[in-house]
Chain A
């Protein structure tokens, strides 16, 4: 930490409130604090810095572990190290990084408290806390249960744990994936994961079975996934929708049993993706509503609940925009422009946003969904006539190209955010 470059204030009395009057950009004192160093937060910190705003990024981890492509790690197609990115690139551009957790926000006096008691003063705060897994939402599934039935929905040790369990499973075993109801991080993620695990099983443990127990009747890129499953993994991968009793209502970690409305499934490997909500700091800051997510203005990403605090990425309620890394990065750019403008006293400008999201159903077989969004009626709405999924009847060359573009996208976005 470099306290000299940061407005660090400890134990300041409220009487100092006059000190917290928003600074004006150009006078060299405006400071933005960004909480969360993922695709949204790191991109926003960088974009603000490039607009000559002083930025402190608060992120407890020294290295970020990316979720996109972590399903390939689970399937043994990729190393976890290729998912990890440090913050030197941001440091080089003058973003101040504090490897601490933000634990509280005083919106009135514009201060963020860190877990070591330090307080950071901000003129505007950007929260990009991602998701928190709800260990109170699915009976039997708590943090301890996740050691037996990994979620692997935050990439890292959990990703490796699921990988090891698949490797240790004998041929002929049963793998179960419990997929949550909407909304959740990475809507096509459970189905890409099912595809790539099926790819692994087909090659290495062909007598095994994979069952997806789903709390939904429909999912992202569904027709494309199902067509690919029928072609590549017949008899191996079974999807059980909500209406067929797919919703998991309880789990027992000791026996790796998933209980649904219609029965129970005992698995050799159980991947439980539990319900989610915005990261904990969102609640502490008072920007999450009763849904657990954060309502925002679709032009500035400023919270509808707390002025001066912006929320981007998975934690935000972004209307039709899915919770994806691509979306978080785009929101980060738009939010950075809005924040820099607001600090200069400029009126925010409406911006369209794009999402592009690739999934792999097998190596060399990629599919995508895209959308264009615009602020409307206080939300981000899809622009009609645009977006949609890859064609159902695309030839293998197109699937191959989309697999290449997926990989290229990952290199590009991680390079631009962290490189």
Chain B
């Protein structure tokens, strides 16, 4: 939906590609520790690990701008800059969404 429109920015994709090429074992970026408090593979709040980084970053941008309706993510997204969001998205994307999803 709207999320896909927002991520169209080529700059975002370029940055994500650059990040993807970087060392995979990056340290947990600022703020990332909290996502798994609610997001899990099962249940109404979708799991994020293994999802494309561009999709996560775009969703956060849309929550932040208010373009995407939310209950609580709009309030949380506003606490993170684009750079922070991208780092979190990349970190989540690089993780295994399976049983051992929480491994660093």
CB distance from A153 to the nearest CB of B (A): 22
Known: A398-B71, A408-B45, A415-B40. Contact between A387 and B33, CB under 8 A? no
Query: Which of A78-86, A208-216, A217-225, A350-358 lies at the binding interface?
Result: A350-358
Query: Contact between A337 and B33 (Cβ–Cβ < 8 Å)?
Result: yes
A-contact bits for B32-70, CB 8 A (1 contact / 0 none): 011011111001110000000000000000000000000
- B-chain residues with CB within 8 Å of residue A330 when the two chains form the complex: 33-34, 37
CB distance from B65 to the nearest CB of A (A): 13
Cα–Cα, bound, A337→B26 (Å) = 12
A-contact bits for B60-84, CB 8 A (1 contact / 0 none): 0000000000011001111110001
Q: How large is the interface on B (under 10, 10 to 19, 20 to 34, 35 or more residues)?
A: 20 to 34
- A-chain residues with CB within 8 Å of residue B27 when the two chains form the complex: 337, 349
The total of interchain contacts (Cβ-Cβ below 8 angstroms) comes to: 106
Give chain A interface residues in 340-370, CB to chain B under 8 Å.
Answer: 349-354, 356, 368, 370
Q: Does B15 contact A (CB under 8 A)?
A: no
- A-chain residues with CB within 8 Å of residue B84 when the two chains form the complex: 352
Query: Contact between B76 and A387 (Cβ–Cβ < 8 Å)?
Result: yes
Cα–Cα, bound, A350→B92 (Å) = 18
Query: Contact between B40 and A372 (Cβ–Cβ < 8 Å)?
Result: no
- A-chain residues with CB within 8 Å of residue B102 when the two chains form the complex: 47, 50, 416
In the complex, the chain A residue whose C-beta lies closest to that of B47 is A412
Query: Which of A117-125, A238-246, A399-407 lies at the binding interface?
Result: A399-407
Query: Contact between A333 and B33 (Cβ–Cβ < 8 Å)?
Result: yes
Query: Contact between A333 and B28 (Cβ–Cβ < 8 Å)?
Result: yes
In the complex, the chain B residue whose C-beta lies closest to that of A335 is B33
Q: Does A160 contact B (CB under 8 A)?
A: no
Q: Does A385 contact B (CB under 8 A)?
A: yes
Q: Does B24 contact A (CB under 8 A)?
A: no
Q: Does A329 contact B (CB under 8 A)?
A: yes
Query: Contact between B71 and A385 (Cβ–Cβ < 8 Å)?
Result: no
Give chain B interface residues in 3-30, CB to chain A under 8 Å.
Answer: 27-28, 30
In the complex, the chain B residue whose C-beta lies closest to that of A340 is B104
In the complex, the chain A residue whose C-beta lies closest to that of B75 is A370
Known: A333-B33, A402-B71, A416-B102. Contact between A370 and B40, CB under 8 A? no
In the complex, the chain A residue whose C-beta lies closest to that of B28 is A337
Query: Contact between B45 and A405 (Cβ–Cβ < 8 Å)?
Result: yes
Cα–Cα, bound, A383→B75 (Å) = 11
Query: Contact between A353 and B33 (Cβ–Cβ < 8 Å)?
Result: yes
Q: Does A168 contact B (CB under 8 A)?
A: no
Query: Contact between A349 and B30 (Cβ–Cβ < 8 Å)?
Result: yes
Q: Does A409 contact B (CB under 8 A)?
A: yes
CB distance from A334 to the nearest CB of B (A): 5
Query: Contact between A356 and B72 (Cβ–Cβ < 8 Å)?
Result: yes
Known: A390-B71, A416-B36. Contact between A51 and B104, CB under 8 A? yes
15 A-B pairs, CB-CB below 8 angstroms?
A: A326-B34, A326-B37, A333-B33, A334-B33, A353-B34, A356-B72, A368-B72, A370-B75, A385-B78, A386-B77, A387-B79, A388-B75, A402-B72, A408-B43, A416-B36
* A-to-B contact residues, CB < 8 Å: 47, 50-51, 326, 329-330, 333-334, 337, 349-354, 356, 368, 370-372, 374, 383, 385-388, 390, 398, 401-402, 404-405, 408-409, 411-413, 415-416
A-B contact sample (6 more), CB < 8 A, given A386-B79, A387-B79, A412-B40? A337-B104, A349-B27, A370-B76, A386-B76, A388-B75, A409-B45
Considering the complex of A and B, which 7 residue pairs feature the smallest CB-CB distances, nearest first? Answer: A372-B79, A386-B79, A333-B33, A354-B34, A386-B78, A352-B31, A412-B40
